[in-house]
């Protein structure tokens, strides 16, 4: 039994951290700024978006760490919400994670990768690039944990290195923009505005992935210690990179050239490195996005596997191959990914993913309060720092974001909420079988 358990728990704290960093750093940070600039063009609020978004993610990671250390099983929100609140709520969280939560971000990263490569190699079809990238990582992670983790660690290291080079080069630009990082008149009203709250949906998406380790908790070595380490270290690290990277975008490139644009990294790269250098940056960002696609594809099937173990009408998803990998989960994820690639726009998928992610994570952090009251004597190897303030602030800020998002983006919000409600219908219907 001990040998079996040690075999199952094969992921180190560093690999777990790599998955978190890879999940977080990807599509959002290289695409969001252009959308923020439509409503906000003052430097201080723009940077505060990433600081506040980072604080939200960090407080969420602190709260998740307590739950995951006390209840160390793979499955993420599905497992935690099922255990703490109700199986129906857990099923909804798992459904959202398996569809919008992981398949959609993997597709978004693959689509962004295709766009960046096609900007350099104009003969490439971005959609076909996304298609083959999804196939490659699906096959890789379906048959090999060893090579999958090696590639994950390697691509994550390359990703961090490229971003650091980009930041350093940005600081040395010869003709920077004259920007003021300190607050000016009107900035506070912008921060309290509905546009700022809606922009935080995009930022929240960029931070999506801070909770990645809890999805593979059942495979992490010494989870009681390593889960919270991987979550806190990686989230704090990414927050610093995000603030610096967005500063460099604004420092190097006129705002007018980035408003409404998706490829802000490429546009900024043109200013920093010139046309030839921008091509190198475009290829570099494409390489960077590979680890993001890889991370989401690796983690997603672990959720559906746990759901299959708990629900008879989904038991086919619990089937593993000879390498102890949930093969049917990978097949289902691939099908969903293909549907996203060929049926939805980049902006639509991103907004749906952001809204559903906020709903799911907020419900999970509420679970910290519930579990402490219901099971005060439960063994908690890690207790959330600053609770109830950290958990409470996380919940209140997310409610504030959702409130204004529903007011400003009612159609997208209703669709995102419908995804959650649909999952509840599937749960109660499936119980009949």
**pLDDT value of position 1:** 43
Through-space distance between the first and last CA atoms of the chain, rounded to whole angstroms: 33
**pLDDT value of position 180:** 85
**pLDDT value of position 320:** 83
Distances (CA, A) of 367 to 64, 350, 371, 392: 9, 26, 6, 11
Distances (CA, A) of 267 to 100, 116, 185, 244, 255: 29, 11, 29, 17, 11
Joined together, the tokens standing for residue 6 give 């040690």
Average pLDDT of adjacent 10-residue blocks, the chain of 433 residues:
48 72 75 84 92 90 85 78 89 80 82 83 87 90 70 72 87 86 88 87 81 64 71 83 92 89 81 82 80 81 81 82 82 87 71 80 93 92 87 94 85 80 82 68
Domains, the chain: 2-430 (1.20.1740.10)
What's 26's DSSP letter?
Answer: S
| Beta-bridge partner residues of 220 | 11
**pLDDT value of position 75:** 67
CB 83 within 8 A of CB 71: yes
DSSP state string for 314-381? GGGGG---TTS--HHHHHHHHHHHHHHHHH--HHHHHHHHHHHHHHHHHHHHHHHHHHHHH-TTS--S
CA–CA–CA angle 347, 21, 243 (5° rounding) = 70
**pLDDT value of position 5:** 44
The whole-angstrom separation of Cα 266 and Cα 281 is 7
The whole-angstrom separation of Cα 353 and Cα 202 is 9
**pLDDT value of position 79:** 83
* pTM for the structure as a whole: 0.78
């Amino acid at each position: 039994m001990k040998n079996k358990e040690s075999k199952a728990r094969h992921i180190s704290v560093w690999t777990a951290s790599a998955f978190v960093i890879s999940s977080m750093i990807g599509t959002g940070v290289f695409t969001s700024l252009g959308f923020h600039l439509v409503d906000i063009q003052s430097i201080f609020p723009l940077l505060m978006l990433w600081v506040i978004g980072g604080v939200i993610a960090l407080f969420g990671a602190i709260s998740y760490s307590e739950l995951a250390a006390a209840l160390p099983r793979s499955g993420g929100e599905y497992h935690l919400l099922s255990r703490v609140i109700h199986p129906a709520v857990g099923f909804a969280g798992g459904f959202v994670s398996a569809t919008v939560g992981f398949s959609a971000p993997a597709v978004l990263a693959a689509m962004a990768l295709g766009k960046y490569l096609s900007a350099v190699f104009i003969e490439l079809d971005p959609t076909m690039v996304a298609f083959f990238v999804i196939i490659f990582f699906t096959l890789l992670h379906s048959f090999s944990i060893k090579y999958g983790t090696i590639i994950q660690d390697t691509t994550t290291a390359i990703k961090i290195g490229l971003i650091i080079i980009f930041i350093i080069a940005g600081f040395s630009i010869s003709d920077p923009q004259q920007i003021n990082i300190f607050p000016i008149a009107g900035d506070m009203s912008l921060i309290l505005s509905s546009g700022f709250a809606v922009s935080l949906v995009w930022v929240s998406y960029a931070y999506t992935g801070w909770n990645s380790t809890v999805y593979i908790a059942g495979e992490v070595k010494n989870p009681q210690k390593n889960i919270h380490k991987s979550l806190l270290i990686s989230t704090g690290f990414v927050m610093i990179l995000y603030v610096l990277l967005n500063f460099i975008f604004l420092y190097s490139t006129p705002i007018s050239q980035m408003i409404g644009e998706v490829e802000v990294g490429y546009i900024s790269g043109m200013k920093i490195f010139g046309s030839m250098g921008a091509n190198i940056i475009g290829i570099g960002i494409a390489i960077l996005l590979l680890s993001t696609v890889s991370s989401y594809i690796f983690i997603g099937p672990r959720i559906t596997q746990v759901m299959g173990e708990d629900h008879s009408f989904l038991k086919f998803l619990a089937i593993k191959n000879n390498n102890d990998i949930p093969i049917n989960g990978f097949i289902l994820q691939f099908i969903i990914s293909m549907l996203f690639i060929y049926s939805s726009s980049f902006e639509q998928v991103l907004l749906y993913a952001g809204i559903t992610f906020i709903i799911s994570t907020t419900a999970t952090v509420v679970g910290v309060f519930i579990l402490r009251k219901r099971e005060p004597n439960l063994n908690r190897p890690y207790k959330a720092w600053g609770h109830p303030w950290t958990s409470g602030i996380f919940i209140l800020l997310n409610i504030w974001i959702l409130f204004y998002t529903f007011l400003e983006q009612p159609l997208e919000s209703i669709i995102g909420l419908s995804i959650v409600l649909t999952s509840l219908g599937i749960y109660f219907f499936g119980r009949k079988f």
